[in-house]
Amino acid sequence: MSPIVAHPDVRRMLMRMRSLTDAARAIAYSLAHAIDRQHDAGAGEAQVDWAQRAALLTPVAKAFATDVGFEVASLGVQVHGGMGYIEETGAARHLRDARIFQIYEGTNGIQAIDLVTRKLGLGDGLAFKALVDDLRSMIADAQAEDPSLAPACEPATAAIGELVFAANWLTRAASEGRQEDLLSGATAFLRLFAIAAGGALLLKAAGIEVDAPAAELRRASAHAFAVDELPHAAALRIAVIQGGRMLGPVTPSVLALMQES
């Protein structure tokens, strides 16, 4: 009898768990770095820039990390199969415990609203632009350091493009007072933001030259994220710009029917 890790679908789930965790951790580290630099910069323009970077990343780090925590815990139950659903392994307890973090400190929907209404426009949008420029530089540097990362760099670059498109669309919606469009696309935008940033950060980590096997694991994580998560960027961009269309038909009569059913 073969161990379950011999099955490709189990390996797929394990790599997804690893890459999602690594991406969430990388975003949290980036937020911590921005906070540290803000405190070290003293008064002046640099201090403002780092404070805005920290503010921009805060809702993304909170919401994405807690969403990922629940997704990874759910995958952990699936990896264990029937044994994961009972108390013996502890996997089910992790799943139950992880759920509350999406609610603590403001639900993740509130974090998404905060991102699109207050954080995206910081510094007249320059804080977002500076972060995007840094993410693009990370991808370019990773490919230059390690050409084997090229297959992961292409979808990462495409995801950044989708992020910028969605951000520009939301900024225009805000300026035109289209509040329904702005808020209905917020959650999809936060996820798009997180996977685009996460993909670039994982490539940055993968491009750092260190001894194996740590470097090999980081490269595997970056490639897994590129295959499993980054392709969702295009769909999330569509969800951002068409979120209002989904809510438009939800009239009072439809809401009444939903409550009855």
Number of neighbouring beta carbons within 10 Å of residue 1: 4
From the number of C-beta atoms within 10 Å of its C-beta (0-12, 13-18, 19+), residue 15 rates as middle
| Sign, Cα dihedral of 220, 71, 241, 59 | negative
Catalytic positions, written as ranges: 105
Nearest to 155 by CA among 245, 235, 69: 235
Residues 133-137: contacts with CB under 8 Å, at least 24 apart: 135/160, 135/196, 135/197, 135/200, 135/201, 136/160, 136/200
Residues 171/187, Cβ–Cβ less than 8 Å: no
| Structure-token match 């096997």, residue found | 213
